[in-house]
Amino acid sequence: MMSRLLLLFTILAAPGWVLADDQDSVMVKELPWQLYMSRVYRYHPVAEQLRLQPAMAEAMLLETKGAFDPKIASEYVHKDFKETQYFERWDTDIKVPVWNYADLKLGYEQNRGVWLNPEANVPDNGLIYAGVSVPIGRGLFIDSRRAAIKKAILELDGNEAERQKNMNKFLLMSAKAYWGWAQAYQQLVLAEEGVRLASFRLSGTLQNVTQGAA
C-alpha cells in the first residue's frame, strides 16, 4: 500500500513526465531514477517531516536554555481613599539564574504613604538592594537547569541519529517501490509484445486457412 502511495505521489509531483494522452492509447514516458528520488526526498510529506525534526529539536534546546535568561519583574500596589494616599508600594527587580534554583537578584524599591507598614519604610529616593534568591528545598543538590540542557543536547544528538536512520529507511523503501514498478512495467511491456505477436500469428494462420479453403 505504501509503495502505491509513493508512486502516486511521484506521478502527481512530476506532471508531464509520466502520462500523455493519445487519441486511442496512453503513452508512458520514462520517469528517471534520479528525478524520482529527488522528488520523493524534496516533496514527500514523510521526508519533509523528517527534515524538520532537527529544527524542532533545536527550538526545544533553545527553549530549555531560556531558563538561564535574566528575568525582570515589577510589582505596584497602592490604596487611596477620599483623596488620601494610604500607601503606594513599587518594587522592581532583575533576577539572573546562576546554579541550581539560585538567582542573583538586583532591585529597586520605592514606598510611601500615610498608612504604610513600617517594615516597608525606605529612604525618600528609594532603596537599591542586591542579594541571592534560593528557594529552600528545591535544587540544592542537583543543578536541575543545567541537567535539563544536557538532556536536551543528548536528545538532539540521539534524535539526529534516529532521524537519519528513518530517512535512510524511507528512501530505501522508496527505491524498492520504484524498481518494483519498473519491473512490473517491463513485464507489462513483454506481455503486450507477446499479445501482439500472438495476434499477428493468429491473423496469418487465419489468412492461410482462408486462402487454402479458397
What confidence tens digit (pLDDT) does each residue in 139-190 have? 554 566 667 777 777 777 767 778 888 888 889 988 888 888 888 888 888 9
- Which of 87, 117, 142 represents a domain boundary (last residue)? 142
Domain count, the chain: 2
For residues 174 and 186, give the distance between their C-alpha atoms in angstroms, rounded to a whole number. 18
Give Cβ neighbours of residue 33 (< 8 Å, ≥ 6 apart). 178
Identify whether residues 10 and 49 lie together within a single domain: yes
Q: Which residue range is the domain that position 156 belongs to? A: 2-63+146-205
Structural domain contains residue 198: yes
The cell for 143 is 543543578
For residue 16, give the nearest of 35, 3, 40, 42 by alpha carbon. 35
Task: Rank 9-23, 81-95, 112-126, 188-202 by mean pLDDT and report only the highest.
Answer: 188-202
Structural domain contains residue 76: yes
**With bands split at pLDDT 50, 70 and 90, how would you rate the model's confidence at 199?**
confident
**With bands split at pLDDT 50, 70 and 90, how would you rate the model's confidence at 14?**
very low
Higher pLDDT, 212 or 114: 114
Identify whether residues 168 and 136 lie together within a single domain: no
For residues 204 and 206, give the distance between their C-alpha atoms in angstroms, rounded to a whole number. 5
Give me Rg for the CA atoms of the chain: 38
- Which of 91, 111, 142 represents a domain boundary (last residue)? 142
End-to-end CA distance of the chain: 56
Identify whether residues 150 and 105 lie together within a single domain: no
**How long a stretch of residues is the chain?**
214
Identify whether residues 198 and 105 lie together within a single domain: no
For residues 96 and 72, give the distance between their C-alpha atoms in angstroms, rounded to a whole number. 9
Identify whether residues 132 and 75 lie together within a single domain: yes
How confident is the model at residue 90, as a pLDDT? 83
For residues 78 and 74, give the distance between their C-alpha atoms in angstroms, rounded to a whole number. 14
* 187 alpha carbon, distance to own chain's centre: 41
How confident is the model at residue 29, as a pLDDT? 63
Identify whether residues 105 and 156 lie together within a single domain: no
What confidence tens digit (pLDDT) does each residue in 49-102 have? 888 877 777 777 777 777 777 888 888 887 777 777 777 888 888 888 876 567
Supply the pTM of this predicted model: 0.45
For residues 2 and 178, give the distance between their C-alpha atoms in angstroms, rounded to a whole number. 12
Is the pLDDT assigned to residue 20 strictly greater than 50?
no
The cell for 1 is 500500500
For residue 35, give the nearest of 178, 184, 183, 180 by alpha carbon. 178
